[in-house]
Amino acid sequence: MTKTAVVLFLALASIPIGSSSVFAAATYTLRPDNYLVRLRVLEPGANVRLMPGEYRDGLPIQYLRGTAETPITIAGPETGRRAVFFARRGHNTVSIVNSSYVTLRNVDLEGQNLPVDGVKCEGHADWAHHITLDGLRVRGHGNNQQTVAISTKCPAWGWVIRNSVIMGAGTGLYLGNSDGRAPFIAGLIEHNLIADTIGYNLQIKHQQPRSLLPDMPGGNNATIIRHNVFSKTNGGSKETARPNVLVGHWPLAGPGSNDRYLVYGNFFYQNQHESLFQGEGNIALYNNLFVNHFHDAVRIRPHNDTVRTISVFYNTVVAAGAGIVLVRKAEDPPYQQWIETNAVFARIPIAGLASEGNLVGRYAEAVEYLARPHAPLGELNLLPNARANRGSVPAADRSPFRTFPERTFPEAELDFDGDLHGTAEWGAYAITKKRPRWLPTLEIIPMRAK
C-alpha cells in the first residue's frame, strides 16, 4: 500500500459508518496514475473530472451511494482528447455493484476485442439504481455475440442511457438476465446510436414475478425508448439472426404487471436476416421510422410468454418483407390491441389485425407516396409526397390516443421531428411538412429544442 493510500485509509477508519455528511461535496481532478484510490471513497455530491489519457485499470463503480439531491458524477472532458478506458482480460471495464445515483459521462471504452463487457452491472450485485450513462463511446466489443457494450445482470431501476455511440459490439444493450430474474424497471434509453452489432442492438429481457427491494418503484411504470438510431446494415449473420431491438414481457402478475414500453421517435434501419423490432407484453409503438430493404419491420408476438396491451400508430414503415405483424395466443384474454394511422409499404403490409385506418401498399409502391424511400442514408426521405396528401386516411374517432396524450402516450401529438401532427393524418411525419428537420443517417438524432 502506498503512503497516500495509508493516510487515506487511516482517515476513513475514524469516520462513523453511515455518516452522510463526512465530506463537503467536492470536485476532484484525477489522472490515469491516481484515479483508483479516490474512486473507491466518493461521497454524495462528489464531482470527478477525469483528465484526458489512457486508463488501464478499469473503472469500479462499487458501493458508491449518491442521492437524488446529491448525485455522484464521474466525467471525462467535454471537448478535445477523451478519457479512454481500455479493457483487461478477465475484467469488465466499468464494473457496477450496489451503487445508486451515479452519473458516468463523456468517456470512451475500448474493448480491444477481448471477451469482456464494457459496462456491467454485475450478476453478484444486489441492485443498482439511478445510474446515468451519458456520452459514452463504446468500440472494440465484438469478440462474440455474448460480448456486450452495456449490460445489467441484477435488479436495476431508474437507469438513463443517453447520447452514446456503440459500434460493432456483440450485443449493444442487454438489460436483464436470461432467466427473467434481474428486472430492468423504469429506464430511459434516448438519443443513442447503436449499429452493426452481431446480435441485438438492444434487448430487454422478460421478467419473472418481482420481489420489491427497498427504494424499488411500485405501481405502474414505463421504460421509454426514444429518439435512438438502431441499425444492422453490416451486423449479424444468418446463423445467429437477431432483431435490432427485442423487448420481453413484464411480470404476468403482481408488481410490474402493468408496466409498459413506450417506444417512439426512433429510426430503425436494415437487418438482412431478421425484423427491426420484436416485442411482447404491454407496448406503445409510435412516431417511428422503419426501413428494411431486406426483411421484416415489426413483429409483435409471443417470445417467452404473451402479447398483451398493444398500441401501434403514426409509424412509417418500408420493408421488403412483412410490415407490421401481430401474433397472439388463441387462449389469451381480449387485451386492447390496435394498429392505426400508420403508413406501411411492404410485401405484407399489416397482418393480425385489420388494416383499416392505415395507409398501406406494396413495398414497390412506397416511391409513389414517399419522397425518397429507397435512397441512401443522408438522402433517405420518408416525407409524404403530394399524392400521399391526396390519399390521406379520412378522419376517424381515435380517442385511445387522442385522450390525455401526454399522460397516456408522451409526445404522441408530435411527429418524428417534434412538430405537431395535426388531424386526419398517418405516418411518422405531419403531412403538411415541406422538409424533414433531420434526414435519417447513422448519427445521434439531434436533441429537440425545448
The residue assigned the cell 410490415 is 323
Report the alpha-carbon distance of residue 65 to residue 43 in Å, rounded.
Answer: 7
User: Cβ-count burial of 405 within 10 angstroms (0-12 exposed, 13-18 middle, 19+ buried)?
Assistant: middle
**pLDDT at 423 (0 to 100):** 67
CA-nearest of 118, 188, 120, 135 to 160 is 188
Q: For every residue of the chain, which 3-state class applies, written as one string?
A: CCHHHHHHHHHHHCCCCCCCCCCCCCEEEECCCCHHHHHCCCCCCCEEEECCEEECCCEEEECCECCCCCCEEEECCCCCCCEEEECECCECCEEEECCEEEEEECEEEECCCCCCCCEEECCCCCCEEEEEEECCEEECCCCCCCCEEEEECCCEECCEEECCEEECCCEEEEECCCCCCCCEECCEEECCEEECCCCCCEEECCCCCCCCCCCCCCCCCEEEEECCEEEECCCCCCCCCCCCEEECCCCCCCCCCCCEEEEECCEEEEECCCCCEEECEEEEEECCEEEECCCCCEEECCCCCCEEEEEEECCEEEEEEEEEEECCCCCCCCCCEEEECCEEEEEEEEECCCCCCCEEECHHHHHHHEEECCCCCCCCEEEECHHHHHCCCCCCCCHHHHCCHHHHCCCCCECCCCCECCCCCCCCCCCCCCCCCCCCCCCCCCCCCC
Report the alpha-carbon distance of residue 300 to residue 292 in Å, rounded.
Answer: 16
pLDDT tens-digit readout, 64-107: 999 999 999 999 999 999 999 999 999 999 999 999 999 999 99
Report the alpha-carbon distance of residue 186 to residue 204 in Å, rounded.
Answer: 12
Name, in order, each residue with C-beta under 8 angstroms of 170's C-beta and a sequence gap of 6 or more.
Answer: 141, 142, 143, 144, 145, 146, 147, 148, 197, 198, 199
**pLDDT at 424 (0 to 100):** 58
Greatest alpha-carbon pair distance for the chain in Å reads: 78
CA-nearest of 321, 324, 297 to 311 is 324
Name the residue ranges covered by the structural domains of the chain.
Answer: 22-211+218-313
Residue type, 64: L
Name, in order, each residue with C-beta under 8 angstroms of 433's C-beta and a sequence gap of 6 or more.
Answer: 383, 384, 415, 417, 419
Task: Mark the ranges of the chain whose per-residue pLDDT is less than 70.
Answer: 1-24, 386-407, 423-424, 449-450
**Torsion sign over Cα 441, 444, 448, 449:** negative
Report the alpha-carbon distance of residue 263 to residue 275 in Å, rounded.
Answer: 16
Third-level CATH fold of 22-211+218-313? Pectate Lyase C-like (2.160.20)
Name, in order, each residue with C-beta under 8 angstroms of 148's C-beta and a sequence gap of 6 or more.
Answer: 117, 118, 120, 141, 169, 170, 171, 172, 173, 174
Pairing between strand 307-313 and 337-340? parallel
pTM above threshold 0.85: yes
